[in-house]
Structure 1
Amino acid sequence: MLKPSWAAVMLASCCSAAQAENAIERISIYANRLPTAESQVLASVTVLERDDIVSRQATDLPTLLAQMPGINIARDGGRGQNSSLYLRGGNSGHTLVLIDGVRTGSATLGYKALAMVPLELIERIEVIRGPRAAWYGADALSGVIAISTRKAQGTEINANVGSFGQAGTDLSVSQQVGDLTVSATAGYSRADGFNVRKDLDADRDGYQQRFAKVAAEYQSTVGTWQAQFDINSGFNQFDTAWGTEDEADTLSRSYLLGWQHAVGEWQHQAQLSRVLDDDTSFGPDSRSPFVTERDEVNYQTSTSLTEQLTGLAGVNWYSEDVARSGVNYVIDSRINRAFFTGMSFKQQQLQLEGSVRRDVTDQYGGNTTWQLAAGYFFSEAWQVRASRGAAFKAPTFNDLYYPGSANPDLAPEQTVSDEVAIHYRASNGSIQLVWFENDVDNLIQFDMATFMPQNIEKAQISGAELVINVDVAEIQQQFAYSWIDTENTLTGQRLVRRPENTLNWRAERQWGKISAFVSADYQSNTYQGPFASQEYLGGFTVWGVGASYPVSNSLIVRANLANLFDKRYQTNASYTTAGVNFGLSLSYRPQ
């Protein structure tokens, strides 16, 4: 799906004018595949724009996502090392990651590795909590993380240094000639890191990374044409108790061609893409490459059928291939074909939405997913909404065909999710309280007894979220609390690495030119499983502070301290996390 920038800008302008001076309406691009004011979306959505991302001064993408409602991150060390994401208690593979509307991630692993996605290339992040398979197909069981990469405007130079030998720089430029706009961003970062497992190697585990993006956009009488090329290559070290491989080369490369056009009441969008994901682990005795490719075609059209009714329909096709690997897969390619459609109705205080999608693959048959939602505004401030949706996840190539530890008889995971929410909005903030429940049938879990993945009968996930944004006494505060109850019905145990309670708090204030913030992130203890070095890990709270200062109209200095009180904690058994660490960055934009 293309990011409809022209429509989003128009809608944002209209919504902003209608809000109070200190409240800017955020726009959801991906929740309904159309730009929609966040207050009109019948789902739980959090949007971070580029200014939000920069002001938080997070060291990497997993650190940033861990500060958002409903998300927990389990890290195998620091920056560059593997991170597992759990959205509303779902597995890592239950969250679909889109980058510029393109499905991403390794077809062998079944999810996107987030640790090496550079924040410097990100313009916008939209997190949709709750199933969205009726719009996007497989993998969107727990939600969708939609990332929009940067489109440079003018020239900008950034540089940063920090603890553990962290250093990086990036340059963005753009040029407009008539109806053609060309932009480019390139950068480099590295760190010595720290020893992520003291019971194994005594060395530091660092990383290096290079990334670049080149994009062009052309306005014509028959629509807007977009083309872009992204490349992100890197190297990271890690510690593992399995074998001797403790280093990895990574490469992500994508090509994208898009078109969008408005003809009367009809909006048309089309997109072609190719994504390569290469992860090669190596050590003194072996080398294990895993290279997968995905070609994808998207088309959608939408129109206002009446003043109250809007309709959308589209088709999606993608092929996944194991292009190269260190082992032989019995089957190394598959094709998915899909059709989706949906409608939204709004009249006075009432909103109704419905969507349905049919996916058919040559590997595991067909799956139909659907979504229904309703919302009612009791007043301009109070809204209640409810939704129910079905979703599925296909078994990965590793699940089905990895030699010695695969199960070709696996069935797709199936879920039905319910959500009820009440939302209050005021001129100085908002409060949202959400209850959700997700029943997962045929959950795929790795069985250490048989050393292969198995479909367990069912997993049950339920929880609640309280999200508060408020501006009081010139202090902007963001508060998010999540309670999650998970159970593997086969064993009666909680699902691993899902804390029952999570709290994120951030407060920011402006003093003249100086802007400063303080943050606190808490999670309760986590069950690690019977085969982990520690069956349970204790809870913890991590504090952070930061500030920014514009030296001039062109130069901004930012500094922060993370893990302020040097808390010793773990999110994955045996793996250490960073102690107190600092960061310093400069941003220069010629006027």
Structure 2
Amino acid sequence: AGGGTYDTLNASGTVSGKWQNSWYSIGASHINTQGFNARQPIPGLFGFSQPDKDGYYNTAVNARVGHKFDNNAEIEASFMRSEGKTDYDGTLQDKTKFINQVASLSGSMDILDNWRSTLRLGQSFDDNEQFAPDDSFSSNFHTQRWNATWLNELHINDNHQFILGSDYRLDEVSSSDLDTFNPGFDSYKEKSRYDVGIFGELHSRLWDKHFINASLRWDENEAFGDYVTGNFGWRYNSDIGISLFANFGNAFKSPTFNQLYFPIFGNPNLKPEESTSFEVGLAGDHKWLQWEVRAYHTNIDNLIVFLPPSFNAINVDKSQIDGIEAELGTQIMGWNAKLNANILSPRNRTDDIRLERRADKILSFDLSRSFGQFDLGAYVLAQGNRHEYDRDFITNQITRTQIIPGFVTVDLRTAYHFNKNWMLSAKLNNLFDKQYQTVNTYNTADRNFFISIHYNN
């Protein structure tokens, strides 16, 4: 339990245990914050000014229970539900009440000594009610998903494991849109769609030091047809603590119902995103020093984005992201340090511009140490600038490039362990009260702190 800046209060607890071959876990949590003003005033035709605090609250419960039988078969059921409200700044709507729920049931058993089969069934739904600034009801969006997965794990020997499975997913959506032009209009032209997939994975160790991971998947999507995707990865671990690795894969992502049919902003002509990625790198582990360097290249066809001023969902025909990422971790005189750097080039190749709202340089550094019962830590994050583009409302042509400046923030943390059960912790975020944005006109948190007490039996 704890609290801090912006009148933030949170509490959570979990009770878990085991009795013979059965286990259980029950938990609950609540967070409430008054928040801060989410967005700066916007002039013009689609402008607004709402200099208020945009708060958030969420109450959640979860439970899990399972049993293992004498023949090594297992059964488990789980449940999670959260309810809350999010305030934001908007012209037609400025708050959302939500209910999210997930329930699942799974069972597994050994078919043979080296073959274990698992069946999982699940259902989830999201219910969102949108409200206008005067608190009048505006619209409701309800999405529901049913899914089933059959998984088979085959241990051929210590060096080779094979996974074969199939899954089924059914998505359903409904809405009640009470906008001015279409009162009571049900805005979704398609109410459901299914996706059936068959997949296989191979994990192998060859010649002692070579490791192979390969996967292949076929999907039949009711709305968008058949897709075949896969991934192949190789890693070599040398005797001197240095590893070489490479990965290649492709993927696809279908548009969501909201992206297709959401009133005003949806686009029923959207195509699925398709991508191809390649990565190669080196890694080292030398007791007190761990490091990794990788270079990556990704091509994306039909990237889905929302572009101002209309904010309709559209496809970017050709996008490309190239980058180099490095990680360095070390332990010196009791201090644990980790440095991560990422230099990338996210390009919209269709318009020959940088992809919107994506930083081209990211650097982070984490430092921590324990002094007996005290823990101390610091985290530094630096990100380069981002680009946004003003566009003509009719032609969608770029009229101006806006550069969102980069920033550096520093966070501090500490904890005191009274004993093995009780701990008091504190965080001070944005130490130097940096004023910055990652999306144009959207504010981020000022300097803020949180204190909490923890009990673990």
TM norm. shorter chain > 0.5: yes
What's the CA shift string for 1:147-167, capped at 9, x where partnerless? xxxxxxxxxxxx111101011
Partner residue of 2:139 out of 276, 285, 288:
288
The answer to whether 1:343 aligns with 2:202 is yes
What's the CA shift string for 1:340-392, capped at 9, x where partnerless? 01222212111222211000021111100011111212225111011110100
What's the CA shift string for 1:156-189, capped at 9, x where partnerless? xxx1111010111112112333222221001211
Residue equivalent to 2:275: 415
The answer to whether 1:578 aligns with 2:445 is yes
CA pair 249-494 structure 1, distance change in 2 beyond 3 A: same
Gaps of 5+ in 1: 1-158
- Counterpart CA distance in 2 for 1:536 and 1:504 is 22
Residue equivalent to 1:95: none
- Counterpart CA distance in 1 for 2:281 and 2:293 is 6
Contact 2:308–2:390 under 8 Å retained in 1: no
More off after superposition, 529-538 vs 255-264:
529-538
CA pair 475-444 structure 1, distance change in 2 beyond 3 A: same
Using the TM superposition, give the Cα deviation of residue 229 of structure 1 relative to its aligned residue in structure 2, in angstroms.
0.8
SS of the aligned residue for 1:420 comes to strand
SS of the aligned residue for 1:497 comes to coil
Contact 1:160–1:583 under 8 Å retained in 2: yes
After superposition, residues 73-84 of structure 1 pair within 5 angstroms as: none
Partner residue of 1:257 out of 76, 86, 105:
105
What's the CA shift string for 1:523-549, capped at 9, x where partnerless? 011112225998111111000111100
Residue equivalent to 1:297: 148
The answer to whether 1:369 aligns with 2:229 is yes
Contact 1:271–1:299 under 8 Å retained in 2: yes
CA pair 305-556 structure 1, distance change in 2 beyond 3 A: same
- Counterpart CA distance in 2 for 1:417 and 1:259 is 35
The aligned length equals 430
What's the CA shift string for 1:498-531, capped at 9, x where partnerless? 1000011110011111010011011011112225
Contact 1:534–1:573 under 8 Å retained in 2: no
The answer to whether 1:273 aligns with 2:122 is yes
The answer to whether 1:165 aligns with 2:7 is yes
Higher strand share: 2
CA pair 449-536 structure 1, distance change in 2 beyond 3 A: closer
Residue equivalent to 2:27: 185
- Counterpart CA distance in 2 for 1:334 and 1:462 is 34
More off after superposition, 389-398 vs 171-180:
171-180
Gaps of 5+ in 2: 42-48, 178-185, 392-398
Contact 1:291–1:325 under 8 Å retained in 2: no
- Counterpart CA distance in 2 for 1:287 and 1:380 is 64
SS of the aligned residue for 1:560 comes to strand
SS of the aligned residue for 2:390 comes to coil
SS of the aligned residue for 2:6 comes to helix
Residue equivalent to 1:8: none
Partner residue of 2:214 out of 342, 354, 378:
354
Using the TM superposition, give the Cα deviation of residue 254 of structure 1 relative to its aligned residue in structure 2, in angstroms.
0.6
Contact 1:533–1:573 under 8 Å retained in 2: no
Using the TM superposition, give the Cα deviation of residue 589 of structure 1 relative to its aligned residue in structure 2, in angstroms.
2.9
Using the TM superposition, give the Cα deviation of residue 325 of structure 1 relative to its aligned residue in structure 2, in angstroms.
4.1
- Counterpart CA distance in 1 for 2:308 and 2:378 is 43
Using the TM superposition, give the Cα deviation of residue 307 of structure 1 relative to its aligned residue in structure 2, in angstroms.
4.5
Using the TM superposition, give the Cα deviation of residue 329 of structure 1 relative to its aligned residue in structure 2, in angstroms.
1.1
The answer to whether 1:248 aligns with 2:96 is yes
- Counterpart CA distance in 1 for 2:175 and 2:253 is 24
Contact 1:566–1:580 under 8 Å retained in 2: yes
What's the CA shift string for 1:547-591, capped at 9, x where partnerless? 10012332100012100011111111111111111110001234x
More off after superposition, 496-505 vs 180-189:
180-189
The answer to whether 1:236 aligns with 2:94 is no
- Counterpart CA distance in 1 for 2:264 and 2:407 is 38
Residue equivalent to 1:215: 64
After superposition, residues 122-521 of structure 1 pair within 5 angstroms as: 159-199=1-41, 200-222=49-71, 223-240=73-90, 242-243=91-92, 245-262=93-110, 263-283=112-132, 284=134, 285-326=136-177, 327-347=186-206, 348-379=208-239, 381-446=241-306, 452-521=312-381
Using the TM superposition, give the Cα deviation of residue 444 of structure 1 relative to its aligned residue in structure 2, in angstroms.
2.7
- Counterpart CA distance in 1 for 2:307 and 2:8 is 39
- Counterpart CA distance in 2 for 1:365 and 1:160 is 50
Residue equivalent to 1:141: none
Using the TM superposition, give the Cα deviation of residue 247 of structure 1 relative to its aligned residue in structure 2, in angstroms.
1.1
Using the TM superposition, give the Cα deviation of residue 466 of structure 1 relative to its aligned residue in structure 2, in angstroms.
0.6
- Counterpart CA distance in 1 for 2:96 and 2:249 is 39
Using the TM superposition, give the Cα deviation of residue 402 of structure 1 relative to its aligned residue in structure 2, in angstroms.
3.5
- Counterpart CA distance in 2 for 1:318 and 1:193 is 37
The answer to whether 1:546 aligns with 2:413 is yes
After superposition, residues 86-101 of structure 1 pair within 5 angstroms as: none
Q: Which has the higher contact order (CA 8 A, sep 6+)?
A: 1
- Counterpart CA distance in 2 for 1:564 and 1:405 is 38
Contact 1:320–1:335 under 8 Å retained in 2: yes
CA pair 449-215 structure 1, distance change in 2 beyond 3 A: closer
Residue equivalent to 1:555: 422
Using the TM superposition, give the Cα deviation of residue 338 of structure 1 relative to its aligned residue in structure 2, in angstroms.
0.4
TM-score if structure 1 supplies the norm length? Answer: 0.70
CA pair 483-359 structure 1, distance change in 2 beyond 3 A: same
- Counterpart CA distance in 2 for 1:409 and 1:169 is 45
- Counterpart CA distance in 1 for 2:78 and 2:431 is 40
- Counterpart CA distance in 2 for 1:498 and 1:363 is 30
Contact 1:521–1:543 under 8 Å retained in 2: yes
TM-score if structure 2 supplies the norm length? Answer: 0.90
- Counterpart CA distance in 1 for 2:321 and 2:210 is 29
Contact 1:542–1:564 under 8 Å retained in 2: yes
Using the TM superposition, give the Cα deviation of residue 334 of structure 1 relative to its aligned residue in structure 2, in angstroms.
0.2
- Counterpart CA distance in 1 for 2:310 and 2:75 is 52
Using the TM superposition, give the Cα deviation of residue 336 of structure 1 relative to its aligned residue in structure 2, in angstroms.
0.4
CA pair 428-270 structure 1, distance change in 2 beyond 3 A: farther
Contact 2:376–2:415 under 8 Å retained in 1: yes
Contact 2:309–2:390 under 8 Å retained in 1: no
Q: Look up the equivalent residue of 2:372 and give its one-letter code.
A: G
Using the TM superposition, give the Cα deviation of residue 253 of structure 1 relative to its aligned residue in structure 2, in angstroms.
0.3
- Counterpart CA distance in 2 for 1:280 and 1:429 is 51
Q: Look up the equivalent residue of 1:575 and give its one-letter code.
A: Y
What's the CA shift string for 1:428-469, capped at 9, x where partnerless? 241010110000112233455887433332101111111112
